[in-house]
Amino acid sequence: MPLPARLVVVSGPSGVGKGTLVSKVIAAHPEVVHSVSCTTRAPRAGETDGVDYHFVDDETFRGLVSSGSMLEWARVHGACYGTPEKQVDDALAEGHPIILEIDVQGGIAVREKRPDALLVFIEPPSMAELERRLKGRGTETLEQIERRLAAAKGELEMAPLYDVRIVNDDADGAADELARCMARS
Ligand code: 5GP
């Protein structure tokens, strides 16, 4: 059974494994669209423009915000990130569920604009495990890791505002749980 057309927000601290869970859901349910955000941060090794993000400069980003093209946007870890509204509307109009992998400020902003959105918060089994995962992926400097761990504490405090909380201790089980939540209307 294809998953219903619905706007789904997935948030959680950096390193918690949101990307892995979303990829697993899409592998099992190819009708699901993954929203591609715009960001002013530099691409990491292995990231592709237009696939992982639309990488834009500050001026372009400001233009997108002032023209009203963003469903939401936020400054996260020193860079700007935002969701183009058109891709969300296009996916839903075509009958596809769409997942926005965005931070908690963005999640709360989406809830205000789209009260029917499903907000899912992914939690780490523990802070120690989150630190281990962030260090293990090797994509950030130690300073960036410290910044993301400090931010994680604030983000975890926002979890009660979400509709559903999933602890990512086992990626396959957590991805199944995410898909089950998306199947409920
Ligand atoms: P990263 O730089 O690790 O890819 O992402 C950093 C944070 O920005 C993550 O928490 C990610 O979910 C969030 N993020 C990515 N795209 C968006 C977006 O379009 N809007 C908001 N508000 N946050 C985003």
Domain residue spans of the chain: 7-35+87-183
Q: Look at residue 185 and tell me whether its pLDDT is greater than 70.
A: no
Instruction: Look at residues 172, 171, 160, 77 and name the one whose alpha carbon lies nearest to residue 125.
Output: 171
- Per-residue pLDDT at 152: 93
CB < 8 Å & 24+ apart, contacts of 145-152? 147/77, 147/78, 148/13, 148/14, 148/15, 148/77, 151/13, 151/14, 151/77, 152/13, 152/14, 152/15, 152/16, 152/124, 152/127
Choice from 9, 35, 65, 76 to test ligand 1 binding pocket (greatest atom count within 8 A of CB): 76
- Per-residue pLDDT at 138: 83
Cβ count near 55 (within 10 Å): 16
Q: How confident is the model at residue 14 (pLDDT cuts 50, 70, 90)?
A: confident
DSSP 159: G
Identify the residue whose C-alpha is closest to ligand 1 atom 19. 82
CA of 53 to the centre of ligand 1 (A): 10
CA distance linking residue 63 with residue 72, whole number of Å: 14
- Per-residue pLDDT at 62: 98
Q: Look at residue 179 and tell me whether its pLDDT is greater than 90.
A: yes
Residues whose CB is less than 8 angstroms from the CB of residue 58 and which lie 6 or more positions away in sequence, other chains included? 40, 80
* Overall average pLDDT of the 47-59 stretch: 97
- Per-residue pLDDT at 77: 82
Architecture of domain 7-35+87-183: 3-Layer(aba) Sandwich (3.40)
CA of 81 to the centre of ligand 1 (A): 6
Q: Which DSSP string corresponds to 18-48?
A: HHHHHHHHHHH-TTPEEP--EESSPPPTT--
CA distance linking residue 149 with residue 13, whole number of Å: 8
Residues in the ligand 1 pocket, defined by CB under 6 Å: 14, 37, 41, 72-74, 76-77, 81-83, 101-103, 105-106
pLDDT digits (tens, 9 = 90+) for 78-102: 899 999 999 999 999 999 999 999 9
pLDDT digits (tens, 9 = 90+) for 97-141: 999 999 999 999 999 999 999 999 999 999 999 999 989 988 888
* Overall average pLDDT of the 34-51 stretch: 96
Residue spans of beta strands (DSSP E) within 35-84: 38-39, 54-55, 70-76, 79-84
- Per-residue pLDDT at 181: 97
For the chain, the average pLDDT equals: 95
